[in-house]
Chains A and B, each alone.
Chain A
């Protein structure tokens, strides 16, 4: 009576998809929180150079974060596609 196959399918798909989504968003948010050098504190030289930004992050990190959030946007769009029957029936 229990449809084990569809139950396991739902369980597997749900876990894999959820982990993928939180991984993408988590990585994006982690990238945004990347400072130039981990644990670095201001020294005297920094105080003389105005352009040194202690919280500035490498461009690569910003770019990776953007990629992550674009992917998240794609996942949201897919979710809406799944919700609206007119799109897939």
Chain B
């Protein structure tokens, strides 16, 4: 194995880690930014620090990239996962992550990574390389369950929080104080994210080093890998996927402090309960489901189903689309080292092109919540019914 391919895969893996960070800032911080509980820059800085800390907190990194979706162990009759394979899968995941960011879609980075690797493995080793049962049990079913559990919980939590704080005498209800509570609930989401997601990249890099013979089989994660991954995801988080923050924070529904707190609490609890009771759910899908549920739960708010539909379409497309991209990159990798180089160049050109397109309508800390009405107009599917809206509750 050429050392430069290993270096290339590590670089690509860290770039994926970066995109994972900026894609997922929104999960924790979109709602506190939307209610102005935190200033946009403060929010992403807080999330970045918590992701950095979270990445160091986890002691056991699962040394599997795909959790059994691809048979990674050559001794067990499966495929030998070579760095060229990993390169194709991770490159596809990056391209899909950046593409969904361009459209402001909160898609799952895990699904993108799994999809890329699945496509790459099918090209490299055939359909038999995929554990289809595991795919259904660990990816497809949780993807359906996550928004439903989080949405139902957030709906009920929002109803309850408004019922408890409702005042019938016309005095101020003090719901603005939920902004302070929001800081805690969203911080928990960010910390939980850091402990989970940076580990994926640590696993990718460590497995690459093992398969290249640079680490003995069964070796743990080298400390420099932990540092590199923690820093990459933190920088990504700080960069802030503002387009996605806008979609979750203001695109799906208008979020008020009490409602935001209910949504973030539902997100944090859903993630913690699922990861500790054996039904791991995607942070991204949980967070979006919570926001929609809370929008349904608050009187006088409305959910923009047009945007919700686009988000759902993004979820459904993520796995197959990144699988197709992974397969294409894997076809290039089959040409040998030259193919890997061509793949890297093609990927870099695609990323640059998407970045340049994004500059035309830049979304940043300055305008992430100020164009709310404009965004609402763009996605509104039906005119407001008169007398139905009760105003700013």
Interface positions of A (Cβ within 8 A of B): 1-3, 6-7, 9-11, 13-15, 17-19, 21-23, 25-27, 29-30, 32-33, 35, 38-39, 72, 76, 79-80, 82-86, 89
Contacts and interface: CB of A to CB of B under 8 A. Distances in A.
Contacts of A18: 153-154, 156-157, 262, 265-266, 269-270
Given A29-B177, A33-B173, A72-B181, 17 more contacts: A1-B141, A6-B277, A10-B279, A13-B273, A14-B149, A14-B150, A22-B164, A23-B161, A25-B261, A29-B165, A29-B181, A30-B174, A35-B171, A38-B171, A76-B188, A83-B188, A86-B57
Chief secondary structure at chain B's binding surface? helix
Contact of B181 (A7, A25, A86): A25
B195 interface: yes
Given A22-B157, A33-B173, A84-B57, A3 B279 contact: yes
A82 B276 contact: yes
Contacts of B173: 30, 33
B56 to A, nearest CB: 10
B172 A33 contact: yes
Contact of A39 (B58, B171, B265, B266): B171
A33 B171 contact: yes
A86 B53 CA distance: 13
B268 interface: yes
Given A7-B279, A29-B174, A72 B270 contact: no
Interface string B260-283: 011001101110111011110100
Contacts of B195: 83-85
A29 to B, nearest CB: 5
A15 to B, nearest CB: 5
